[in-house]
Amino acid sequence: MTVLHNKVNRQALRERLMKEDFRRITVSFYRYFYVDDVQAFRDALYLKWSTLSCLGRIYVAHEGINAQMSVPEHEMGAFMEHLQSVGGLQQVPLKIAVDDDGRSFIKLNVKVRAKLVADGLADGSFDVTNVGTHLTAEEFNRAMDLPGAVVVDMRNHYESEVGRFEGAVCPDADTFRDELPMVAQILEGKEEHPVLLYCTGGIRCEKASAYLRHKGFSQVHQLHGGIIDYVRQVRTQNLPNRFLGKNFVFDDRMGERISDHVLAVCHQCAKPCDDHVNCANTSCHHLFIQCHACRAAYCGCCSMECQTILEAHNAEQASSLSLFPESSSFESTSPESSSFESTSAVFSTLEPSSRESIYHGNADGLATSTNGASAKPSAATQSTVYRKGRPPGREEAAAPHAVYPA
Q: Please give the residue that has the higher pLDDT: either 68 or 371.
A: 68
**For residue 358, is pLDDT > 90?**
no
Give start-end residues of each CATH 3.40.250.10 domain in the chain.
133-245
> What is the share, in percent, of the chain residues with pLDDT greater than 70?
77
pLDDT of residue 364: 28
Among 115, 108, 239, which Cα is nearest to 175's?
A: 115
pLDDT of residue 389: 61
- Measured in whole angstroms, how far is the alpha carbon of residue 117 from the centre of its chain? 13
Give start-end residues of each CATH 3.30.70.100 domain in the chain.
16-112
Q: Are 155 and 204 a contacting pair, CB within 8 Å?
A: yes
pLDDT level of residue 321 (50, 70, 90 thresholds): low
pLDDT tens-digit map of 283-319 = 888 999 999 999 999 999 999 899 998 888 878 777 6
pLDDT of residue 8: 74
**For residue 370, is pLDDT > 70?**
no
* Annotated catalytic residue within 170, 199, 294, 301: 199
Rounded to whole angstroms, the Cα distance separating 170 from 252 reads 24
pLDDT of residue 384: 30
pLDDT tens-digit map of 22-47 = 999 999 999 888 899 999 999 999 99
> What is the share, in percent, of the chain residues with pLDDT greater than 90?
52
Length of the chain: 406
Rounded to whole angstroms, the Cα distance separating 24 from 101 reads 8
**For residue 76, is pLDDT > 70?**
yes
pLDDT tens-digit map of 255-276 = 889 999 999 999 999 999 999 9
Choose the most confident range, by mean pLDDT, from 28-37, 363-372, 373-382.
Answer: 28-37
Instruction: Confirm whether 54 is a catalytic residue.
Output: no
What sections of 215-273 are H helices per DSSP?
226-237
pLDDT of residue 269: 93
CATH fold for domain 16-112 = Alpha-Beta Plaits (3.30.70)
pLDDT tens-digit map of 136-180 = 999 999 999 999 999 999 999 999 999 999 999 999 988 898 999
Local structure of 20: helix, strand or coil: coil
Mean pLDDT of the chain: 79
pLDDT of residue 159: 94
- Measured in whole angstroms, how far is the alpha carbon of residue 103 from the centre of its chain? 16
**Radius of gyration for the chain, computed over Cα atoms and rounded to the nearest angstrom:** 23
Compute how many other C-beta atoms are within 10 angstroms of the C-beta atom of residue 370: 9
**For residue 230, is pLDDT > 70?**
yes
Q: Which of 1-5, 235-239, 253-257 has the lowest mean pLDDT?
A: 1-5
Q: Are 279 and 288 a contacting pair, CB within 8 Å?
A: yes
Q: Please give the residue that has the higher pLDDT: either 336 or 250.
A: 250
pLDDT of residue 198: 97
pLDDT of residue 331: 40
The reply to whether the predicted model has a pTM over 0.85 is no
Q: Are 222 and 197 a contacting pair, CB within 8 Å?
A: yes
**For residue 381, is pLDDT > 50?**
no
Rounded to whole angstroms, the Cα distance separating 161 from 159 reads 5
Rounded to whole angstroms, the Cα distance separating 406 from 243 reads 10
pLDDT of residue 2: 54
Q: Are 158 and 205 a contacting pair, CB within 8 Å?
A: no
Q: Are 311 and 297 a contacting pair, CB within 8 Å?
A: no
pLDDT level of residue 320 (50, 70, 90 thresholds): low
User: Strand 24-32 and strand 64-72: pairing?
Assistant: antiparallel
pLDDT of residue 81: 96
Rounded to whole angstroms, the Cα distance separating 364 from 31 reads 46
CATH code that applies to domain 133-245: 3.40.250.10
Rounded to whole angstroms, the Cα distance separating 118 from 179 reads 11
